[in-house]
Structure 1
Amino acid sequence: MIEPITADIHQRLLALLDAELARYRVIEHEAVGKCEAVSEIRGTALGQGAKALVCKVKGNGMNQHVLAILPADRQADLGKLAQLIGGVKASLASPAEVDALTACVFGAIPPFSFHHALRLVADPLLFERFDEIAFNAGSLDKSVILNTQDYLRIAKPELVAARRRFHCFFASAAR
C-alpha cells in the first residue's frame, strides 16, 4: 500500500517556487478538462503545456511509480518509457494510486513530485521549444506559467524522450 501524501499541493508548489525564486505567474480560470481548451484560456501554445501522467513501470526487477511529464501536444509511449528507465512494461496508475501519490485529480497534477515513491521523468522536447511551460497547479482551475530553466533547476527531472505525436483523424484525412 502506498503511503498517501496529504497536503494542499497548490500551496506547497507556490511555496517551493517562491523559496527557489522562480519566475512564474498564476492564472485562475474555469476548470476545463482538455489540454487544447486550457492552453487557449492561458494564452499559451499547446506544446507549452506540461502534461503529467502517473505511471507504473514493472519488469527487470523494477516496480516503480513514475510521474512522466511531456508536452501536451504529444502522447506518451509507455513501452518506450518503461524501456528507457530499465523496466519492461508500463501502464497508467489507478485513480487511487494517483490520489495517494499526488493528492490531485487527473488533469490537475503539476510536473513536480512531492512523494518519495514517485520518480520524476520529463521529455526534453518540452524544454527545447519554449522559454516557459504551463501546467495545472494542483487544481483544475489554477495554472502556473513557469520559466523553463527555473523548472529544470528546481524539479531536476530525469530527461527521457518517451513520446509520440498525436494522431489526428482530421489532419490525416486532409492530406
Structure 2
Amino acid sequence: MSEENTTYERLINWLDENDARYELIDHQPEGKTDVVSGYRGHPVEQAAKCIIVMMKLTKKTKRYVLAVVPGNKRVDLSALKGLYGGIYAGFVENATAESLAGSVSGTVLPFAFNGEVELLVDPGMLKHEYIYFNAARLDRSLRLHSDDYERLAAPRVESIAEDEPSHVSEHGGADRQA
C-alpha cells in the first residue's frame, strides 16, 4: 500500500472513530484548488488550501508550519514571520512537503498528523458550514462540517491569508500555492 493510501485510510478511520460528519466526493484527479472546487461544486473559498511552510526562527533553528487558508486566498508569509518572530518563511520543496504530509502535492490534508508540523488555520476557513479538501488522493475529496474540523484539528487560529494577486506571474505560470 502506498503512503498516500495509508494516509487516506488513516484519515477516514480517524474521522469515523471521532464521529465526524463528512461526505466523500469522487472526481477527476486534480490538485489545483480552483479546478477541483469546480469538480466538487462549491465556492473556492470553502476549499482548504494547505501549504507547508518552513520557518527559520534563528540561523540554526527551524520549524514547519501547515498553513491552511481559504482556496481563494494565499498564505501571507510576512504574517507567519511576524507570528513566529522568524527571520525567514518560505514554501518547502514538494518532496519535503510530501514527506511531512504523507501524501502527494495537491492532496495535503488540513490536519497535522506529523509531530514535526504545527497546524495554523486562517479564521476564514471556519466561517462556512463545510470545508472541502482532497482526501490525501487526487481523485477523492472530503466535505467536512467545519465545527467537526475545528473540534478534531484543534488548530491555532490566526489571520494568515492574503488576497491572490490579480495577474499571472512573469513566467506565465500559476502561483505555487494553487
Give me the TM-score of the superposition, normalised by structure 1: 0.88
Q: Residues 74 and 6 from structure 1, CA distance in 2 versus in 1: closer, same or farther, beyond 3 angstroms?
A: closer
Alignment-derived partner of residue 132 in structure 2: 134
Alignment-derived partner of residue 172 in structure 2: none
Query: Distance between the aligned counterparts of 1:89 and 1:79, measured in 2?
Result: 9
Query: Distance between the aligned counterparts of 1:144 and 1:52, measured in 2?
Result: 14
Query: Distance between the aligned counterparts of 2:74 and 2:81, measured in 1?
Result: 15
Deviations 1:121-147 (A, max 9, x none): 10011112x100000110111100000
Query: Distance between the aligned counterparts of 2:89 and 2:30, measured in 1?
Result: 27
**Alpha carbon RMSD of aligned pairs, Å?**
1.8
Gaps of 5+ in 2: 169-178
Maintained 8 Å contact 1:107/1:140: yes
Q: Is 1:68 the equivalent of 2:105?
A: no
Deviations 1:72-117 (A, max 9, x none): 0001111211211332321011122112211211110110111110
Tell which deviates more after alignment, 87-96 or 38-47: 87-96
Maintained 8 Å contact 1:48/1:133: yes
Query: Distance between the aligned counterparts of 2:95 and 2:30, measured in 1?
Result: 22
Query: Distance between the aligned counterparts of 1:132 and 1:105, measured in 2?
Result: 23
Give me the TM-score of the superposition, normalised by structure 2: 0.86
Maintained 8 Å contact 2:31/2:107: no
Query: What secondary structure, in the 3-state scheme, does the structure 1 residue paired with 2:141 have?
Result: strand
Maintained 8 Å contact 1:79/1:88: no
Query: Distance between the aligned counterparts of 1:22 and 1:154, measured in 2?
Result: 8
Matches within 5 A, 1:135-154: 135-154=133-152
Query: What secondary structure, in the 3-state scheme, does the structure 2 residue paired with 1:111 have?
Result: coil
Query: Distance between the aligned counterparts of 2:32 and 2:5, measured in 1?
Result: 25
| Paired residue type of 1:168 | S
Maintained 8 Å contact 1:62/1:87: no
Tell which deviates more after alignment, 95-104 or 42-51: 95-104
| Paired residue type of 1:85 | Y
Identity %: 32
| Paired residue type of 1:39 | S
Maintained 8 Å contact 1:83/1:89: no
Q: Is 1:124 the equivalent of 2:123?
A: yes
Query: What secondary structure, in the 3-state scheme, does the structure 2 residue paired with 1:64 have?
Result: strand
Alignment-derived partner of residue 22 in structure 1: 20
Query: Distance between the aligned counterparts of 2:12 and 2:151, measured in 1?
Result: 15
Alignment-derived partner of residue 97 in structure 1: 96
Query: Distance between the aligned counterparts of 2:113 and 2:98, measured in 1?
Result: 12
